[in-house]
Structure 1
């Protein structure tokens, strides 16, 4: 009997060990050496060596540098070479190449570009004509417009967590190639949910597994795996899941994503949050209800949170509540949401910044982003801590903190310059003067910078043609 009990205990421990291993993100970086150049996204795809960003050096001289690490702002000079930060020098130092372009930012605050972890670039607005709501061309143009709003608000990185078909991936490529202005994009692709789940209620054409829709309905563990693979095939940087789902379905989707090296975030509520946390999810979106046990489990398993308090402020202020949705069958309020935020902070859960500006709310920017940060402060953060959440912490949640989120040598040059002191007064985030993305100046004096095209010479006729 004792021997049998020991065997059963050993089998249980081995099973738990295997499950725990499956829950963790597969670290594909272990196969890369320092000489392999990879894409600047979580996919880590090898790319050909060559010039990254503009040629030459750019110096931001004489600014007050808030570097996003948590340290207090100091007077310093930021040196950029190509698309990387080369050095952060003392204010008295001029150790940069003589041919560098120097921009005097004296009296202004220099800091990492802001990150928004919860956007939907291609979503329609209330006045969008019905024939354009699910049209890819119209969705791409809507995304291009939103990108400009974010960039003009100091946001140099967005995470698109549910978009129209392939549109988010096309926008990502065009921004990366400097063909359209905007923040760098990390895209999840379609939202994956169970049949009739969040984002798939009703009979809209964009639901029911349509390949070009915003939502991919899945049924059964194998189909949830296939839905994850479809987003990966398109170029997903992460996977976004939404309740409802079964335990087996969410476990299969998370296991598949982690095997592919992608993080998973979930839009879920009540028991579905706990099921996702038990299955190994990386982060949870929104301030939706969950039990104290689930909060403790999130903290112990280091599951992150993107609370997105601001959209629910708008929902309650504009509509009085969240109505007519089977995925919102619970009572909640602005006060309850802030209370949940405080509980998560007290538990030690890492939280990043996302705004979830659906419908036409992106037109409130930059105030909506500032309001989200003000909610962090109301929930117990200091102003500098809120800015760190918007930069370094959000980069950590992206899995990109080795390249983004702080002004340190070797990091990607995503930098903003503002009048005032946003680390003391969040309202000063409205005073954006300069934005740099990937080493390129993309906004100057508050206006989007468009690089003039370089005309190609016309083709010269061959000898045969000229005869």
Structure 2
């Protein structure tokens, strides 16, 4: 559901060729913490970079920003720059929209620990700042959110200090079932666990009244070890979400559950199918109903990849994302040996292989794809870095770099109903990532971050370890 606000009003002003004055932008700008400026902000011109348009890179371009919006985009030299504009030369660089994660988490982790005590304004502000540092300018915290979330969402849904915060409130799971809150250190379990259809509807009504962007459901027995949310309950929750204009997203693992949820009207499959290959019936149902699919490949890879210690773990871009406590764990020879020898690592490798195979099939069939990683749910799911690794994994499943970037920008904006984000075009919010290298030549070049712009203001430079 899209909630109308002043920032989504049509922008009908334009910059006329030869104009020497800054036009007044009749749009409310700023965020919950900052009032609108008393005088119009200056025009900023980003000159000479190649621009990702959702399909390919333009030649050298001119991008004109006014306030928090993109005012004009055109080939270099085609737009006359206002005399008082601030001009920044980005010749030889590439500009992409800010990345949008439709499945992440905040407030669960500190260092190598998880717990509800970490769901604080200060910790979440730090995590959102870290996302923004890595060019992830919007995240959707998909469940596990206690009551403080509702306040933070109102304050940080337009957050210049870090990524914008959207989310699903606590979410709905089975009594004594997934998500296993105690196993995640979340002793004061905030997840709604209705036993009846009416209780599920009441839980959704409460979340909708408090303010959420979608409703999260967990439908997973965790390999048969836990009770599973019943069809009667999840069907009622999905229906009630739709009554309130909200999309419903489901955590799944198995194909059987994914099929049943699609039949029940789910809007988003929030993890990849990882128990067996998807079949044509599932693919056709996904297409016919327009269901979104977020593979979250990095979720399982994170259970073993750091013990293998690939070369990129020694690069500053990775090390800057890792807390000292987590880095100490990764550096432990004993931890690495035990992790690689564990049954969990073997199972995770199989899950990744199936996830990649299923993503390939769904992509080739034209199923709608969203972007997410489950970053922030557990210590090894590393906010910021996980999103860049996910882009690389998506290309391993057969997406081109341009297709992977489109999923992580324009398409994920559409999944979240954000009509003015995810693209570099007039009227869109100026959330931009400036890269030193061409990501369409090698998707790993998204890691060559030169600058990050949030709502028309540069907020970050290069990523470097502290």
Q: Which of the five TM-score ranges fits, normalised by the shorter chain?
A: 0.7 to 0.9
Distance in 2, matches of 1:272 and 1:222, equals 22
Deviation at 1:426, TM superposition (A): 1.8
Partner of 1:198: 178
C-alpha distance 108-168 of structure 1, shift in aligned 2 (>3 A): farther
Is 1:436 equivalent to 2:416 in the alignment?
Answer: no
Q: How does 1:62-77 map to 2 (within 5 A)?
A: 62-68=48-54, 70-77=55-62
Deviation at 1:71, TM superposition (A): 3.3
Count of residue pairs brought into register by the alignment: 393
Deviation at 1:80, TM superposition (A): 1.3
Partner of 1:123: 108
Question: Any unmatched runs of 5+ in structure 1?
Answer: 1-26, 30-35, 42-48, 324-328, 449-467
Structure 1 stretch displaced more, 431-440 or 388-397: 431-440
Give the secondary-structure state (helix, strand or coil) at the position aligned to 1:86.
strand
Is 1:252 equivalent to 2:240 in the alignment?
Answer: no
Q: Is the 8 A contact 1:122 1:168 kept in 2?
A: no
Give the alignment partner of residue 93 of structure 1, picking from 78, 83, 97. 78
Please give the per-residue CA displacement for 1:237-270, whole angstroms capped at 9, x wherever unaligned: 1111111322221121111111111111110233
Give the secondary-structure state (helix, strand or coil) at the position aligned to 2:169.
coil
Partner of 1:294: 282
Partner of 1:284: 269
C-alpha distance 386-331 of structure 1, shift in aligned 2 (>3 A): closer
C-alpha distance 287-206 of structure 1, shift in aligned 2 (>3 A): same
Q: Is the 8 A contact 2:158 2:165 kept in 1?
A: no
Deviation at 1:282, TM superposition (A): 0.9
Give the alignment partner of residue 265 of structure 1, picking from 234, 246, 249. 249
Distance in 2, matches of 1:148 and 1:196, equals 34
Give the alignment partner of residue 29 of structure 2, picking from 52, 56, 65. 52
Deviation at 1:73, TM superposition (A): 2.8
C-alpha distance 373-172 of structure 1, shift in aligned 2 (>3 A): same
Is 1:61 equivalent to 2:43 in the alignment?
Answer: no
Deviation at 1:119, TM superposition (A): 0.9
Give the alignment partner of residue 295 of structure 2, picking from 282, 303, 307. 307
Partner of 1:393: 411
Deviation at 1:184, TM superposition (A): 1.1
Deviation at 1:409, TM superposition (A): 0.8
Partner of 1:158: 139
Give the secondary-structure state (helix, strand or coil) at the position aligned to 1:199.
coil
Is 1:135 equivalent to 2:117 in the alignment?
Answer: yes
Question: Aligned-residue CA RMSD in angstroms?
Answer: 3.0
Is 1:242 equivalent to 2:218 in the alignment?
Answer: yes
C-alpha distance 205-118 of structure 1, shift in aligned 2 (>3 A): closer
Distance in 1, matches of 2:387 and 2:348, equals 27
Please give the per-residue CA displacement for 1:333-373, whole angstroms capped at 9, x wherever unaligned: 3222211212222332111221112322354743x322211
Give the secondary-structure state (helix, strand or coil) at the position aligned to 1:249.
helix
Is 1:225 equivalent to 2:242 in the alignment?
Answer: no
Give the secondary-structure state (helix, strand or coil) at the position aligned to 1:236.
coil
Q: Is the 8 A contact 1:241 1:265 kept in 2?
A: yes
Partner of 2:191: 215
Partner of 1:464: none
Partner of 2:149: 168
Distance in 2, matches of 1:143 and 1:227, equals 25
Distance in 2, matches of 1:166 and 1:440, equals 31
Deviation at 1:157, TM superposition (A): 1.0
Q: Is the 8 A contact 1:119 1:354 kept in 2?
A: yes
Q: Is the 8 A contact 1:51 1:82 kept in 2?
A: no
Distance in 2, matches of 1:28 and 1:446, equals 33
TM-score, with length taken from structure 2? 0.76
C-alpha distance 330-181 of structure 1, shift in aligned 2 (>3 A): closer
The structure with the larger Rg is 1
Distance in 2, matches of 1:76 and 1:204, equals 48
